[in-house]
Chain A
Amino acid sequence: MFKINISSIIFSLKNLKKTLFSNLFNTIISLLIILFISKACFNTFEWLIFKADWKVVTTNLPLYAFGSFPPNEQWRPATWIISLLLLSILTLCGPEWKWLRKNLLKVWVGTIPIGLYLLYGGIGLSPIMSRHLGGLTLTILLTICSSFLSLPFGIVLALCRQSSLPFVEKLSSIYIDVMRSIPLIAVLFFGQLLIPLFLPVGIEIDRVWRAIFAFSLFVSAYIAEDIRGGLQSIPNTQIEAANSLGLNQYQIIQFILIPQAIRIALPALTNQSIGLFQNTSLMAILGLVELLGIGRSILANPEFIGQYIEVYVWLASVYWMVCTIMAVLARNLEQKMTINQANF
């Protein structure tokens, strides 16, 4: 084992010599580039470890995570985020427990009502107003709720666009085209600033939910197109076969079309949800203190003035971590689905 390793290292070194140091010119260029890269790495690490003052991050950790959630209730969002994290790990490992493996999807969906209950309170827990939500909690809430709402809406739109009824088909095409031609920030502005203008004085939709609805309306148009791509790639013969088996319209959609369309559209859907997660940072310029917004508020604290780089590097790494978790989960799901497909 060890021998093979050494020989492979020698081989790769030889390879390296052949590609990078074959003549004088190449050697000089390679050396310069290596010097440049190591200098850059050195400076970065020097800054990260010695120069940067991470106090702006360490003293404000609860703020980044929970916003201005009341301190003695912070276990609630913490429980939610940790359980989401554990569930992700569990999903990746592939649980041994058969019941859980079967109902994994239901457990994931179940985290939404549990999360909402924990965050907003109600029976048995003290109620919390949504203005207290903030930081990573709010970012995750926005992402999860919007994707959960936009998926069914997107599927319905995609099916309507395939419909044989011209009215339904046109309506959904118009909706999709209009939504795709408006920038997301305009939709969010509409949701945050104009909807309250149309509602009567007494009735108010919470601003967090306005954001969630705006995100869902926007993203569902894109999801609809992704799903339509999936639907169109299913050969017509399958529908004919299903018809001849005596399945009705709904059964065909439920058992034949949707499962396959979603599987095909999965990479695109992953893209959407990661994009959605990052787009929630747009809410910072609309006054919601989600992860980016809270970072910008912390920067105004006289104690931490001027520590932009630390805060933004920290925020970037948090965004990177969450996006990576989402991407890894989706890849895992794709692999499992291909295995299932092979079993057909």
Chain B
Amino acid sequence: MRRLVTGIVGLAALLAGCATTNQDNSSRLNLIKNRNELICGVSGKIPGFSFLKSDGSYQGLDVDICKAFAAAIVGDSEKIQYRPLTAAERFTAIKTGEIDLLSRNTTFTLSRDSSGGNGLTFAPVIFHDGQGLMVKKESKISSLKDLANKSICVGSGTTTEQNINDAFESAALPYTPIKYQDLNQVVAGYLQGRCSAMTSDRSQLAAARSGFKNPKEHIILDDVLSKEPLAPASDGQDQKLADAMRWVVFSLISAEEQGITKSNIDEKVLIAKDNPQLKPLRRFLGIDGGLGEKIGLSNDFVVKVISSTGNYGEIYDRHLGPNSEVPIPRGQNELYNKGGVHISPPFN
């Protein structure tokens, strides 16, 4: 009995301790540094973005973004613990502190960003996507209208589901959604002929199609149903971590703007050190200005990031470029001066 009482008292003390530590506003950024490891939520199930290689390691665009964060915050791009998450549980995982940040094909929307909604904060967009529809060529379907009264395979619990509904409702067309839990099941449903079309982000359609036995027999319709800016996310309460993440992503884009790559970064650092007149470059690489410390990172975080993952263009080419296994034309994802929308604010 006495043991029981001490047990209960102990538990109460533990809960009380929990209440006090939660009030203290220490940033997740310090927690990550102390842990010396970043816990990164990924999908683990999207070709080109994050998937498990046969040797047991994760790879993809989203994974490289995790690596960039780890290089900047911890100083080592390999000190990452990946948490595979499904679409349904990803926001809870951030809120509970199960993961530090999310790099998992998450669409940046108002209700997710707002404190009245999911209460997240988004880093800059790392991939501009849009929702599309894929049909079999032989079906002769060429636009949204042809899909009236047909069934469409869609992943549930995502913005995809909402968008397809909005598109058909505003066009006053009836259709039958067939819902699946994740993209791979949507693909399987479509291939087994359970629906006339499948819908998802165009990048994912392209990725899925590249794995089909006869990719040429499937076409992606020209109708674009939505903007899908995909961005890493973290807890909206934590401004310090959000700032750090924002500028790590911008540093990837800015490095591409300035032509700084994984292979020439060391050279660029030497040039910047030797030439005091190259002020913007010196600030960017952390030689002057102390920019890194302002956002809670080391001053040379850009050097660490670029030397471990390369700039944005390199990351893109590695996973989604023409020679990769999931080629997706860069289109909107080019830099602003090449017809795309990626731009970095100045590092001043």
Contacts and interface: CB of A to CB of B under 8 A. Distances in A.
Interface of A: 59-60, 62-63, 67-69, 71, 129, 131, 134, 189, 192-194, 196-203, 207, 285-287, 289, 293-294, 296-306, 308
A68 B48 contact: no
Contacts of A289: 44, 52, 84
Given A287-B89, A305-B212, A200 B22 contact: yes
A193 B89 contact: yes
Contacts of B329: none
Interface in B36-73: 43-48, 50-57
Contacts of A129: 81
B135 to A, nearest CB: 17
B56 A67 contact: yes
B14 A200 contact: yes
Contacts of B83: 131, 287
Nearest to A296: B45
Given A305-B208, A308-B184, A300 B51 contact: yes
Contact of A302 (B31, B184, B325): B325
Interface in B198-221: 207-208, 210-213
B317 interface: no
A301 B51 contact: yes
A60 B54 CA distance: 5
Contact of A299 (B45, B82, B88, B207): B45
A67 B58 CA distance: 12
Contacts of B43: 300
Given A296-B45, A301-B51, A71 B18 contact: no
B144 interface: no
B181 interface: yes
Contacts of A62: 56
Contacts of B85: 287
B213 A306 contact: yes
B191 interface: yes
Contacts of A297: 44-45, 51-52, 84
B89 A286 contact: yes
B52 A68 contact: yes
A197 B15 CA distance: 11
29 contacts: A62-B56, A63-B56, A68-B57, A189-B89, A196-B97, A197-B95, A200-B17, A200-B18, A200-B22, A201-B26, A201-B31, A285-B181, A287-B93, A293-B84, A296-B45, A296-B182, A298-B52, A300-B43, A301-B54, A302-B48, A302-B211, A303-B54, A303-B325, A305-B208, A305-B210, A306-B188, A306-B211, A306-B213, A308-B188
B169 interface: no
Interface in B85-130: 85-86, 88-89, 92-93, 95-98
A192 B93 CA distance: 9
B170 interface: no
A36 B173 CA distance: 42
Interface in B320-345: 325-326
Contacts of B181: 285
A298 B57 CA distance: 11
A59, A60, A71, A301 interface centre (most CB from chain B within 10 Å):
A301
B86 A285 contact: yes
Given A207-B98, A285-B181, 8 more contacts: A62-B56, A68-B56, A200-B14, A202-B21, A285-B86, A300-B52, A302-B48, A305-B208
B187 interface: yes
* Majority SS at the chain A contact face: helix
B327 to A, nearest CB: 10
A310 B319 CA distance: 26
A67 B46 CA distance: 18
A74 to B, nearest CB: 10
A87 B31 CA distance: 45
A301 B47 contact: yes
Nearest to B88: A285
A196 B18 contact: no
Nearest to B99: A287
Nearest to A69: B56
A287 B182 CA distance: 13
B207 to A, nearest CB: 7
A300 B44 CA distance: 7
A71 B56 contact: yes
A302 B52 contact: no
B45 A300 contact: yes
A192 B83 CA distance: 12
A302 B97 contact: no
A303 B48 CA distance: 11
A103 B152 CA distance: 60
A194 to B, nearest CB: 7
A202 to B, nearest CB: 7
A207 B93 CA distance: 12
B93 A193 contact: yes
Contacts of A302: 47-48, 51, 207, 210-211, 325-326
A207 B41 CA distance: 14
A131, A298, A306 interface centre (most CB from chain B within 10 Å):
A306
Nearest to B31: A201
Contacts of B207: 302, 305
Contacts of A69: 56
Interface string B19-42: 001100010000100000000000
Given A300-B47, A306-B191, A193 B98 contact: yes
Contacts of A298: 52, 54
Given A68-B52, A287-B83, A200 B212 contact: no
Contact of A194 (B22, B96, B184): B96
Contacts of B47: 300-302, 305
B12 to A, nearest CB: 13
B84 A193 contact: no
3 nearest A-B pairs in the assembled complex, by CB-CB distance: A305-B211, A68-B56, A302-B325
Nearest to B80: A131
A305 B206 CA distance: 12
Interface string B247-290: 00000000000000000000000000000000000000000000
